[in-house]
Amino acid sequence: MQYTIQSIATVRNNRQMIKYDHWGEIISTIELADHIQEASLKGIEDFSHLEIIFYFDKVTDDQIQYESRHPRNNHDYPEVGIFAQRGKNRPNKLGITMVELLEVKHRTLIVKGLDAIDGTPIIDIKPVMKEFLPKSTVKQPAWSTDLMKEYWELK
């Protein structure tokens, strides 16, 4: 089944290149597309955090991974399937990140902690509500904790 999704906004920030780590210092502006009304943001300032769904538009079709691999090609990590990691080379090229909302300015959102490069298309924006957060303890393997140790670190 095929679906067509149109971006609703674009990321603007100073990160031009895809990098693995040090996203904690990145402040991004999310600019609504011309076809999206400013009223779509009404009330969003009442939330502290947002979920941003974006499209890895720089990933080419030949980079998509359907099989298992070592995350970041690091053989110290176990070989796991693409759905057991958060890598960018996913079948539908979708990323999702929870960000802190710093400010709303007319047709733009200023956010902290968005791990998307400048020009990345935004597919959707959702407010974070505590009722949607996990009710039980989050479990993850040790390799993923190691992989993420510098992801949000400041440079």
Is pTM beyond 0.85? Reply is yes
Per-residue pLDDT of 97-124, as tens digits, reads 999 999 999 999 999 999 899 999 999 9
- Predicted pLDDT at 26: 81
- Predicted pLDDT at 19: 66
Which of the pair, 63 or 149, is modelled with greater confidence? 63
Give one DSSP letter per residue of the chain, joined into a string: --------EEEE-S--S--SS--TT-EEEEEEPTTS-GGGGTTGGG-SEEEEEEE-TT--GGG---SEE-GGG-TTSPPEEGGGS--S--TT-EEEEEEEEEEEETTEEEEE-----TTPEEEEEEE--GGGS-SS-----HHHHHHTTTTS---
**pLDDT averaged over the chain?**
90
Residues in the chain: 155
Rounded distance between C-alpha atoms, residue 23 and residue 20, angstroms: 8
Q: Which fold has domain 9-147?
A: Elongation Factor Tu (Ef-tu); domain 3 (2.40.30)
Per-residue pLDDT of 25-48, as tens digits, reads 789 999 999 999 999 999 999 999
Neighbours of 74 (CB within 10 A): 11
Neighbours of 136 (CB within 10 A): 5
* The most confident of 24-33, 50-59, 64-73, by mean pLDDT: 50-59
Rounded distance between C-alpha atoms, residue 85 and residue 71, angstroms: 7
- Predicted pLDDT at 81: 92
